[in-house]
A and B are shown apart, each in its own frame.
Chain A
Amino acid sequence: MLVAERRASELHSAMTAEARAMQEFSFQVFEAFTAATVLYLLINIVVVIVMRFVERGVAVPGYITGK
């Protein structure tokens, strides 16, 4: 799970680079970074929801401590 998300964040680093390029071009730092932040959140919320289902699906019943 950790590995998959790290891969995803490496893919997204291109998006951060894009935001930085825009920033140097237009000096609209906060707008560009807000856009990048919102995009990241939208993409990763989908990943988080999918991972919740995966986690529930692969849990071994009766073994896990906690809830």
Chain B
Amino acid sequence: MFANFDFDVIRRSLTYLFFDGMTFTLTLTSLATCGGIIFGTLLAMMRLSGFWLLSRFAGLYVDLMRSLPLVLVIFWFYFLVPYIGQWLTGASRPIRVGAFASSLVTFTLFEAAYFSEIMRAGIQSISRGQPAAAQALGLTYGQTMRYVVLPQAFRNMLPVLLTQTIVLFQDTSLVYVLSIPDFLGAASKVAQRDGRLVEMYLFAALVYFVISCVASFGVRRLQARLAFAR
């Protein structure tokens, strides 16, 4: 099988694959993770709040985002936002939204829904006595959340948050619908150009596998270290 396997095409394209493709993939992954965790935590707190309107809005948003596949959300966002922007600003033609900005906002909004469910589980895993004790000490709602509930929720949910980040890392390859050269996109470009589809796709799969596998082992070790802390 490997008789006419061209390893040189991989070696020749290594700098392009990693400096252009992997840089984009990692940038998008880390920015979307940070944004997703921040907005997700806010959404989770909204969903658990006593205000009917806030919790209803957060619930609707999360359920809507989780009901749609990421490819469709990327597609709709990229093609509809210019027209919505035109309608909002009253401009004469559709506003321009770059592919990177569009994908970053889409991933952040989409992942916020998933991170919000994780954070909601984390907040609900704290026993009721803790916020009750915090209130008895005279802490406000904001202080209770900031100093008592959220730190414990983050610690309990850290393995799940990191696992979701690994899933997000794999999902970034879906930006192919906007034809942005992420790692997979770069590999497929070289593959089409040089007619070496098997080599490039196998190499891309191997790289994704190795990175995700190493990250999974790291998460498992972290989980074992965190296990005694409660």
Contacts and interface: CB of A to CB of B under 8 A. Distances in A.
Contacts of A41: 64, 67-68
Given A44-B66, A48-B67, 13 more contacts: A2-B114, A2-B118, A5-B66, A9-B69, A36-B72, A41-B67, A48-B66, A62-B128, A64-B128, A65-B124, A66-B123, A66-B124, A67-B48
A39 to B, nearest CB: 10
Contacts of B79: 30
Contacts of A2: 114, 117-118, 164
B149 A33 contact: no
27 contacts: A1-B117, A2-B118, A6-B167, A9-B69, A16-B69, A30-B79, A33-B75, A37-B76, A40-B72, A41-B68, A44-B68, A45-B63, A47-B67, A48-B63, A48-B66, A48-B67, A62-B128, A63-B128, A64-B124, A64-B128, A65-B48, A65-B123, A65-B128, A66-B48, A66-B123, A66-B124, A67-B50
Interface of A: 1-2, 5-6, 9, 12-13, 16, 30, 33, 36-37, 40-41, 44-45, 47-48, 62-67
Chain B's interface: helix, strand, loop or mixed, by majority?
helix
Interface of B: 48, 50, 55, 63-64, 66-69, 71-72, 75-76, 79, 114, 117-118, 120, 123-128, 130-131, 149, 164, 167
